Amino acid sequence: MGISYKHQIIVVGAGLAGLRAALEAKAAGLDVAVISRVQPVRSHSIAAQGGINAALGNAEGGRDDNWEKHTFDTVKGSDYLADQDAVEIMTKEAPGIVYEMEHWGCPFSRTAEGLIAQRPFGGAEFPRTCYASDITGHALLHTMYERSVKEEIKVYEEYLLLSIVKNADSCAGVIALNIKNGEIEAFEADAVIMATGGCGRIYNKSTNALINTGSGMAAVYLTAGVPLKDLEFVQFHPTSLYGTNILITEGARGEGGYLYNCKGERFVKELAPRDIVARSIQTEINEGRGYDNAYVLLDLRHLGKKKIIERLPGIRDICIHFAGIDPIDAPIPIQPGQHYSMGGIDTDAKGATSRPGLYAAGECACVSVHGGNRLGGNSLLDTIVFGKLSGRFASEYVKTKKKSGQGQALSLHLQEIKSKIHRLENSTGKEKPTDVRNQLKETLTENAGIFREKSKLQKGLAKVKELKERYKNIHIQNKNKKFNLDLVRNLELEGKLELAEVIVAGALNREESRGSHFRTDFPERNDEKWLKHTIASFVNGTVKIGYKPVTITQFKPQARTY
């Protein structure tokens, strides 16, 4: 039972972070390959709408912008939980990587002088968000993919990562399911870079792609002995389309859109940071000032037809196709939805985890540059900057690494995983996966959502533990080898359950309110006790929580007011 493939570096994930990491490793002269659950342009980065932050100073009113101001806005936005040294790296790199994407062909929108256009976004002092109308993620991911075609980056498509294989003090490679034929295959590598994106689909109202199940984070947590950081910090986007929860970009408010409750009142400063706007909207809904106890309205009509068509054509399309509404003529029904995971695989500012040879970048990682709340436009930036840096540092690591017998560890582990899958496929349990999956999503939204409190979190934790038990008796209907969605989705469910436990346990412990984590029973931030990162490790089948300090360089924590 051998090893299927061998490369110096394996990148898992073909979104912006993964492709950028692979390009960097390739440029460093290494043999690198990417494995991905989907064809690269099907990755969730494609869905980003609003833009990417960099202090270029191109916009009228943004000329005095610089990386220091970008750093301050990011740190303040994070509610001081971000590591300031890492934020500085990101904001200094920002203009360079945006120009590089432009040189590679990214079709950014333009200013009258022909420069990259920038728009205002929440929590930023200047119009700093570079955009390509409202399809910035699409423009960036296609450009990154085009570059990877040019550089002949090898991508193994439709593989689901199952496990990281360890050696004594390094990483031996990964085991993945070949979705096309059902084979379990081993990839040997000197270093592995994780770039598997977010885990939004643990919640039932999410703006995320259906494939954002967190399976990469879960594999690291469960099999690599590497902890997750700050996973209780979950961003709820204020404006997702009522019904499907497809995102309506913050750019819509950036361009001047208003929010109205059912009394026709504007109830919040539209461009305050996301956590604040999301809570205001949810409060309106909870207190009966929404519509159908479910949504409020985002009105773009006063922007006029021309501006809507020019700046927000994708949003208009979404409203027409998915809600039967043209925002030129009618306001858009919106509600908050899970949007982004500030937490993730614990890394340093080089993308390195505590296991030598294992790196992570993008939404699956937590450096941390977003702390308790991410500013809009900073995530695309994070994916490319830390994608690049993790690619660079992983390459350096590989070049100096002593070779060790990786093959053996892989073969052994391959057998283990094969038996595990075999057991799962042949389980005679009676539990329906759909029930477990749906109850998990409901529990998280209900008990670990926008507003949290002790009793609810306790209830949520008990429920997650119950569901973890029930998962052991799961029944898989489909026994086919080829494209077995049933199997894929149930493997993902296992990871979701574990991540859910980490989120709820971290939220229950953290008796304060900071950024997106809002405890109605502890409504204030408490720096004395809680200015620290949550570090969650998998020990004896459950989560063990510890903490580590936040790096503060320039900005002492202050009250966060807007």
Partner 1 sequence: MVTFKIARFDSDKDKEPRFQTYEVPDEKEMSVLEALFYIVENLDGSLAFRYSCRGAVCGSCAMRINGQNRLACQTLIKKLGSTTITISPLPHLPVQKDLMVDMESFFAKYEKIKPYLINNDPIPDKEFKQSFKERAEIDEMINCILCGNCYSACTMAATNSDYLGPAALTKAYRFYADSRDTAKAERLRIIDGEDGAFRCHTLFNCAEVCPKNIVPTYSIQKLKGAACFK
Ligand X SMILES: Cc1cc2nc3c(=O)[nH]c(=O)nc-3n(C[C@H](O)[C@H](O)[C@H](O)COP(=O)(O)OP(=O)(O)OC[C@H]3O[C@@H](n4cnc5c(N)ncnc54)[C@H](O)[C@@H]3O)c2cc1C
Residues near 51 by Cβ (< 8 Å), separated by ≥ 6?
A: 118, 119, 121, 129, 130, 131, 132, 136, 251, 376, 377, 380
Shortest distance in whole angstroms from residue 52 CB to ligand X: 6
The item of ligand X, partner 1, none sharing an interface with residue 482, based on CB under 5 to 8 Å by kind, is partner 1
Query: How many residues sit in the footprint of partner 1 (CB under 8 A)?
Result: 58
Q: According to the binding rule CB under 8 A, does residue 85 interact with partner 1?
A: no
Per-position x/- string for 377-416, each x denoting binding to ligand X as judged by CB under 6 A, each - no binding: xxxx--x---------------------------------
Strand partners, 77: none
Per partner kind, with CB cut-offs from 5 to 8 A, the member of partner 1, ligand X, none near residue 216 is ligand X
Q: How far apart are CA 230 and CA 109, in angstroms?
A: 35
Q: Which of 280, 260, 262, 201 shows the shortest CA–CA distance to 234?
A: 201
287-346 residues in contact with ligand X (CB under 6 A) are 339-340
439 binds partner 1 (CB under 8 A): no
Q: How many CB atoms lie within 10 A of CB 415?
A: 12
> Among residues 9, 10, 13, 56, which is the contact residue for ligand X, using CB under 6 A?
13
Question: Quick one: tokens of 558?
Answer: 């202050």
Could you give the count of Cα atoms lying within 13 Å of 104 in the half-sphere of its Cβ?
21
Q: Which is nearer to partner 1, 365 or 476 (CB)?
A: 476
At 217, is the secondary structure helix, strand, or coil? helix
Nearer to ligand X, 265 or 416 (CB): 416
- Which is closer to ligand X, CB of 148 or CB of 261? 148
Q: Does a cis peptide bond (omega within 30 degrees of 0) precede residue 368?
A: yes
Q: How far apart are CA 129 and CA 373, in angstroms?
A: 17
378 contact choice in ligand X, partner 1, none (CB below 5 to 8 Å, kind-dependent): ligand X
CB of 136 to partner 1, least distance (A): 11
* Per-residue mark of binding to ligand X, 193-212 (x: CB under 6 A): --xxxx--------xx----
Give the separation between CA 43 and CA 193, rounded to whole angstroms: 16
| Selected binder of partner 1 within 125, 154, 243, 439 (CB under 8 A) | 243
Contact range with partner 1 by CB under 8 A, out of 74-82, 145-153, 215-223, 452-460: 145-153
If the CB atoms of residues 15 and 333 are measured against ligand X, the closer one turns out to be 15
Binding mask 225-264 for ligand X (x = CB under 6 A): ----------------------x-----------------
Q: Which residues contact 467 (CB under 8 A, 6 or more apart)?
A: 436, 439, 440, 443, 497, 500
Give the nearest distance from C-beta 43 to partner 1 in angstroms: 8
Assess 44 for contact with ligand X (CB under 6 A). Answer: yes
Residue 104 binding result from ligand X, partner 1, none, given CB thresholds of 5 to 8 Å by partner type = partner 1
Is 291 one of the binding residues for partner 1 (CB under 8 A)? no
In sign, the C-alpha dihedral spanning 88, 92, 98, 101 is: negative
CA 516 to CA 536: how far, in whole Å?
18
Look at residue 552 and give the partner it binds from ligand X, partner 1, none, a contact being a CB closer than 5 to 8 Å depending on partner kind.
none
Output the smallest distance, CB 100 to partner 1, in A. 9
Active site residue 392: no
What is the smallest separation between the CB atom of 297 and partner 1, expressed in angstroms? 18
Q: What is the contact mask toward partner 1 in residues 486 to 525, using x (rule: CB under 8 A)?
A: x---------------------------------------
User: Which helix (H) or strand (E) segment is 318 a member of?
Assistant: helix 313-323
- φ, ψ dihedrals at 334, nearest 5°: -135, 155
Letters for 95-124 (x = contact with partner 1 by CB under 8 A, - = none) are: ----x--xxxx-xxxx-xxxxx--------
Catalytic residue among 274, 355, 374, 470: 274
Q: Judged by CB under 6 A, which of 8, 43, 373, 490 binds ligand X?
A: 43
Would you give the binding string for ligand X spanning residues 417-456, x where CB under 6 A is met?
Answer: ----------------------------------------
87 within 8 A of 389, measured Cβ to Cβ: no
Site of tokens 């120009």: 99
Site for ligand X in 131-150 (CB under 6 A): 136-137
Out of ligand X, partner 1, none, which partner does residue 52 contact, by CB within 5 to 8 A per kind? ligand X
Among 318, 384, 414, 444, the residue binding partner 1 under the rule CB under 8 A is: 318
Cα–Cα distance between 409 and 271 in angstroms, integer?
A: 52
427 is an interface residue for partner 1 by CB under 8 A: no
CA distances from 366 to 35, 81, 187, 506 (A): 21, 11, 25, 15
Helices 485-509 and 406-425 pack at an angle, to 10 degrees, of 100
Q: How far is the CB of 494 from partner 1 (least distance, A)?
A: 17
CA dist 386 and 92 (Å) reads 12
Q: What is d(CA 55, CA 294) in angstroms, rounded to the nearest whole number?
A: 37
Go through 421-454 and write b for each residue having 16 or more CB atoms within 10 A of its CB, e for each that does not.
Answer: beebbeeeeebebeebbebbbebbbebbbbebee
18 class by beta-carbon count within 10 Å (0-12 exposed, 13-18 middle, 19+ buried): buried
Supply 48's token pair.
């980003």
Tokens of residue 77, six digits:
């936005």
In the DSSP assignment, the letter for residue 229 is E
Active site positions, annotated:
274
**By the criterion CB under 8 A, which residues form the site for partner 1?**
38-39, 41-44, 46-47, 56, 99, 102-105, 107-110, 112-116, 132, 135, 138-139, 142-143, 146-147, 149-150, 180, 209-211, 243-244, 246-247, 314, 317-318, 321-323, 433-434, 476-478, 480, 482-486
**By the criterion CB under 6 A, which residues form the site for ligand X?**
12-18, 35-38, 43-45, 47-52, 136-137, 159-161, 195-198, 207-208, 215-216, 247, 339-340, 362-364, 376-380, 383
